[in-house]
Structure 1
Amino acid sequence: MADGSLYCDASALVKLVREERETAALLVELERWPTQVTSVVGEVEVRRVAERAGVAERAGMVLAELSLIELDDAIRRLAGRVGSRVLRSLDAIHLASAVSLRDDLGAFCCYDRRLIADAEAAGLTVLSPGLH
């Protein structure tokens, strides 16, 4: 078992809702982490993808396994400052949410290259099972 929480952004969670090349490796990695979290923004992103793909029920099952981080004032302010200038707004919220966990964060699971670079620059341990 891994220590701390595994933060999963939407690029990771979507792989649990619809089968992608990295899904099997991600499922194996998730077994190591008893606590998995995402932002409420990730919940919205995953539900929208699932709705478009016709797998809304699957999204509900995936999200039921996660702890959700609310978008509070501190995270909102941090999201406005964190990461590079090219980091998209929703990704900045994911990064700020993960950073807000501080010592409780074990790793950051992500498949978006820009967000990976900014998470690594912020000192986070980044996992992208099956990507490499």
Structure 2
Amino acid sequence: MSNRAQNTELFELAKTAMNKAYVPYSRFHVGAAILTADGQFYSGCNVENAAFPEGTCAEAGAIASMVLGGETLIKDIYVIGKGEELVTPCGGCRQKIREFSSADTMIHICGEEGVRKSLTMNELLPFSFGPENLEQAAS
């Protein structure tokens, strides 16, 4: 578990996003909320469409909102879903989170009751490929 205490405001933002998810096909609500290194909050929810499973994950929506807001560094991200199992980011979202992470970025996996598990980026996606790999290849 992270040394950081649960950020109640960020958790509530993720929970609100989860409850606004557009999921007429899977009925699987997910929300995400980001705290940036500059202290800004951004959120997103999953959005499905008739070409299911084509849609947008909650984490991707929150990241897009963050980038639109001019931010590029995630300090903490809260991901929340319903059910007994941990609702962790999918493989694609793990890579998206990695793109905007540092060694200090924490991923908090939540249920409706609060944080269930907190992981570092390296724990969530060990031996990851990131922007620095491309910089090394170019030199």
TM-score (norm 2): 0.32
Greater C-alpha radius of gyration: 2
Structure having greater relative contact order (Cα 8 Å, sep ≥ 6): 1
Between Structure 1 and Structure 2, the one with more helix by share is 1
TM-score (norm 1): 0.33
